[in-house]
Each structure stands twice: as C-alpha cells, then as structure tokens.
Structure 1
C-alpha cells in the first residue's frame, strides 16, 4: 500500500489543496485519507481502481472537513420539546363533522358505519349485533362508506396531503353548520 500511496500522494495533495481554503489543513486531510485507505484496503475491489478509490476517500474527507467547520448554536437548556400531535384532536373534529352526515344516511347504513368507524367495533361483532352474516356486515359497512363519501364530497372541498386530509372547506352555507364545532 505504501508504494501505491507514494505514486498518488502528490496528485492527491494537489487535489485537496485546490478544494481546501485552509492551507494548514491540507496535510492533515491527506494524512486522514491515508489512514482511511490503509484501514479499509480490504474494501478495494481491484488494484486497477485504486486511484479512483483514493480520490473518493479524499473527496469524502474534504466534505467531512467542511461539515465539521459549519458553525452551530447550542440550544438553550430550558428549551422544551413540543409534544407530538397524536391526531386525537383532528379525529375528534372530523367525528363531529361526520356525525351529522352519517345521521342523514338510512339507518341500515348509518348504524353499521357508526359502529365500525366511530365506535371501533369489529365487523364480526356488527354482524352479530345486527343479526346478519359477516359478509353482509362487511358489505353494509363498505356501502355505507361509499354513501358517506358521496355526502362528504357534495358538502365540502378537501385538501389532501401526504398525511391524508389536512383541511376542509364547506362548499355551501347549508353544509357549513354540520362541519362547525
């Protein structure tokens, strides 16, 4: 490794010198490149790629040098971390908005939807409570969701982001009071 290093050392020094504004740090970086290359020689795939590999190590070491020099401010000790929003408040607001729309559905759709979505009851339990088959309960919940979606789209415009619905706006004044808390 030492003989190969000697072959490339002058060119690497020039490479580092052109990219570093601190002349005193050039030799330090060059030494760090040698140490990294020596300790990671086992990662080199073939001797033919040694020069490119050394330049990649030099480039990464230069980037590390500049990252370490970036100024940073210490955070105040009395800084309190913000509590993460669990979404409970948003779900409560949506539930208040959805409840009147669900109530407008015929009971054969509103009851299974309310049980599944607002009370979190399993579809098996809904089937038993309504005295219908499991597939019948699944079908009712699914149809109820479609009917609710149709009512929601007729009532409000929705903003959708990566997290889902981020905001909504009533389309007309008749729908507005339903979605107000």
Structure 2
C-alpha cells in the first residue's frame, strides 16, 4: 500500500488543495485518506483501480470536511417537538383506505386486511385461510399491488418530509374502481 500511496500522493495533494479553502487542513485530509485506504485495502476488488479508489476516498473525505464545518444553532432545551407530524392526515387517510380494502374481492381484501390492518403474520393468514405459506405470501403481495392500483386511481396525495401530509379523494363517479 505504501508504494501505491507514494505514486499517487502528489496528485492527491493537488486534488485536495484545489478543493479545500483551508491550507492547514490539506495534510490532515491526506492523512485521513491514507488511513481510510490502509484500513479498507482488503475491500478493493481490483488492484488496477487503486488510483480512482484513492481519489474517491479523497473526494468523500473532502465532503466530510465541509460537512463538519457547517455552522449550526443550538436548540433551546425548552423547545418541544410538535407531536402531530401529519397524524391527522394519516388518520383521515386510514378512513379513506378501509372502504378501498372493503371494495376489493375477498380473495385479496381479506389477506390484506389481516396483514396490514390487523397485523397478523403471514403464517397465521395461511392457517386461517387454509392455504400454504407461500400461497399466503403471494396473495398478500398481489393484494398490495391491486390495492396500490386502486389507491392511485381513487386518491391524490400530498407528500412531505414526514410522508403523507394530505390527500384528496377523487370523484368516484369518474373512476369505477372507487367506492362512493
């Protein structure tokens, strides 16, 4: 590893110095690149790609360097996170989902209801329905696909960082799959 490092050290130094605005940090970053490369040399699949591998490590180390320098403000201890986080929208959405599941043929609606709403294991679903475990798994998977198709046909969703933050049911008269 040391001979490969010596071969590429000058190029790596130039690469890092062009991307770092702190001259004092260049040697620290190079040292960190060497440590990471030495530690993870066993993960390198092709010895012929060591140069690009070293530059990828250098690139990631530079990103880490800037990431650690980003300023942040301390939050006050009396700040309490808002509990809702879209809970109301999810509850409303759940009310929209139940009729969609109920509208599915029993072959698909029953296993989906058991798995997703009642939290029953697929083995227990198989036992209750008198089918094999692989049959229950297939049926639940097919049910999810059919449910997703029906859901996309019947509802418009607003998605945010916390997942679904709102939805609007589509007009059931315009889509025959949607229950009224």
Taking structure 1 as the reference length, the TM-score comes to 0.52
Tell me if 1:33 matches 2:33: yes
Alignment of 1:161 onto 2:175: no
Match of 2:62 in 1: 62
Alignment partner of 1:87: what SS?
A: helix
Structure 1: distance between partners of 2:165 and 2:89 = 14
| Aligned positions of 1:74-93 closer than 5 A | 74-84=74-84, 85-87=86-88, 91=92
Q: Distance in 2 between matches of 1:88 and 1:51?
A: 51
Give the Å deviation of 1:166: 2.9
Quickly say closer, same or farther: Cα 1:7–1:159, change in 2 above 3 A: closer
Question: Which residue does the alignment assign to 2:16?
Answer: 16
Provide the rounded CA distance (Å) in 1 between the counterparts of 2:42 and 2:166: 51
TM norm structure 2? 0.52
Give the root-mean-square deviation of aligned CA atoms: 3.3
Q: Are the structure 2 counterparts of residues 17 and 45 from structure 1 closer, same or farther at C-alpha, using a change threshold of 3 Å?
A: same
- Matched residue count: 110
CA distance in 2, matches of 1:38, 1:48: 16
Gaps of 5+ in 2: 97-153, 170-180
- Cα distance, 1:167 vs structure 2: 5.0
Give CA deviations for 1:145-171 in whole Å, capped at 9, x if unaligned. xxxxxxxx9xxxx86434386358xxx
1:1-181 residue pairs with structure 2 within 5 A? 1-84=1-84, 85-87=86-88, 91=92, 160-162=157-159, 163=164, 166=167
CA contact (8 A) 2:89 2:167 kept: no
Structure with the greater alpha carbon radius of gyration: 1
Alpha-carbon separation, structure 2, partners of 1:89 and 1:61 = 40
CA distance change for structure 1 residues 11 and 165 in 2, over 3 Å: closer, same or farther? closer
Moved over 2 A (4+): 84-91, 158-168
Q: Alpha-carbon deviation of 1:46?
A: 1.3
Task: Give the Cα–Cα distance (whole angstroms) in 2 for the partners of residues 60 and 89 of structure 1.
Answer: 38
Q: Alpha-carbon deviation of 1:47?
A: 1.2
**Counterpart residue number, 1:126:** none
